[in-house]
Structure 1
Amino acid sequence: MMTQVKFASPIFLLLVVMPWFSPTLGNDYVEEACSVTRYPGLCVDMLASFSSTAKDSPSKWARAGVSVTIGEVKLVAKYLAALKSKRYKNILSDCVECFQDTLDNLHRSLGVLRNLSASEFSNQVGDVTTWLSAALTDEDTCLDGFEERNKGKRVVNLINRVNNATYMTSNALALVNKLATTGPGCLVND
Structure 2
Amino acid sequence: MAHTRVMLVTFLFLSWLTVPSCSWGSRRENSYVKDACSVTRYKDLCINSLSSFSNTAKRDPSKWARAGVSVTIGVTKNTTRYLIGLKMKNSMKGRNRVAILDCVDEFLDALDNLHKSLGVLRDIRGELFDTQMEDVTTWISSALTDEDTCLDGFEGQKGKEIRLLATKVTKVSCFTSNALALVTKLASAGP
- TM-score above 0.5, yes or no: yes
Shift of 1:105: 0.2
1:153 and 2:156 are equivalent in the alignment: no
Higher helix share: 2
Shift of 1:154: 1.1
Shift of 1:27: 1.4
Shift of 1:26: 6.6
1:120 equivalent in structure 2? 128
1:70 and 2:73 are equivalent in the alignment: yes
1:90 equivalent in structure 2? 98
1:43 equivalent in structure 2? 46
Amino acid at match of 1:79: Y
1:178 and 2:181 are equivalent in the alignment: no
Contact 1:95 1:143 in 2 (8 A): yes
2:118 equivalent in structure 1? 110
Contact 2:80 2:107 in 1 (8 A): yes
Contact 1:65 1:175 in 2 (8 A): yes
Matched residue count? 160
SS where residue 156 of structure 2 aligns? coil
- Runs of 4 or more, structure 1, over 4 Å off, are none
Once structures 1 and 2 are overlaid, which stretch shifts more, 83-92 or 128-137? Answer: 83-92
1:133 and 2:141 are equivalent in the alignment: yes
Contact 1:26 1:52 in 2 (8 A): no
Shift of 1:148: 2.1
Evaluate the alpha carbon distance shift between residue 92 and residue 182 of structure 1 in structure 2; reply closer, same or farther with a 3 A threshold: same
Shift of 1:106: 0.1
CA distance in 2, matches of 1:55, 1:110: 19
User: TM-score, normalised on structure 1?
Assistant: 0.82
CA distance in 1, matches of 2:173, 2:100: 17
User: TM-score, normalised on structure 2?
Assistant: 0.81
Q: CA RMSD in A?
A: 1.4
1:53 and 2:56 are equivalent in the alignment: yes
CA distance in 2, matches of 1:178, 1:146: 33
Amino acid at match of 1:29: Y
Shift of 1:25: 9.7
Shift of 1:86: 2.0
Shift of 1:152: 1.0
CA distance in 2, matches of 1:158, 1:25: 27
SS where residue 126 of structure 2 aligns? coil
Which residues in structure 2 correspond to 1:13-28 (within 5 Å)? 27-28=30-31
